[in-house]
């Protein structure tokens, strides 16, 4: 059962300028493994984190560096959550997070679907 969706769009050149003007944002927004990436990849990961927050319905208990974007063996992106952020997701009954990201023409986009296990009630059960 889908319990939340989120989407976010980031202007890559604007995002890169913001990081240049405020270098400390790199450490505040990204996990250590993400920090060396190119601006377009950082912008897509920022969009993914924003989309996750939207899918959760808010940022209470969520910390940027506890949301790491990782890829599986086939290159499919996903989330590696830790700390209170992982606790928030679990407390909301979310068992699966689906993520897709893309960047082109100076824009980065991410879409997240938060899914909880079916309870066996309602239509189709």
pLDDT, position 121: 56
Q: pLDDT in tens for each of the 125 residues of the chain?
A: 999 999 999 999 999 999 999 999 999 999 999 999 999 999 999 999 999 999 999 989 999 999 999 999 999 999 999 999 999 999 999 999 999 999 999 999 999 999 998 775 555 44
Beta bridge partners of 4: 114
| Cα dihedral: 101, 51, 74, 89 (round 10) | 180
The topology under which CATH files domain 2-115 is Ribosomal Protein L22; Chain A (3.90.470)
Angle at 21 between CA 12 and CA 71, to 5 degrees: 40
79 DSSP assignment: E
pLDDT, position 122: 53
Domain ranges of the chain: 2-115
Here the tokens at position 100 are 């897709």
pTM: 0.91
C-alpha 82 chain-centroid distance: 13
Residues in the chain: 125
pLDDT, position 15: 98
């Amino acid at each position: 059962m889908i319990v939340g969706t989120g989407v976010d769009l980031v202007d890559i050149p604007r995002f890169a300028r913001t990081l240049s003007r405020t270098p400390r944002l790199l450490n505040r927004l990204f996990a250590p493994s993400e920090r060396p990436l190119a601006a377009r990849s950082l912008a897509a990961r920022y969009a993914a984190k924003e989309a996750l927050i939207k899918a959760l319905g808010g940022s209470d208990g969520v910390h940027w560096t506890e949301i790491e974007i990782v890829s599986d063996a086939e290159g499919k992106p996903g989330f590696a959550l830790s700390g209170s952020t992982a606790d928030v997701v679990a407390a909301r009954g979310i068992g699966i997070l689906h993520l897709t990201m893309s960047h082109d023409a100076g824009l980065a986009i991410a879409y997240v679907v938060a899914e909880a296990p079916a309870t066996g009630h309602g239509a189709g059960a």
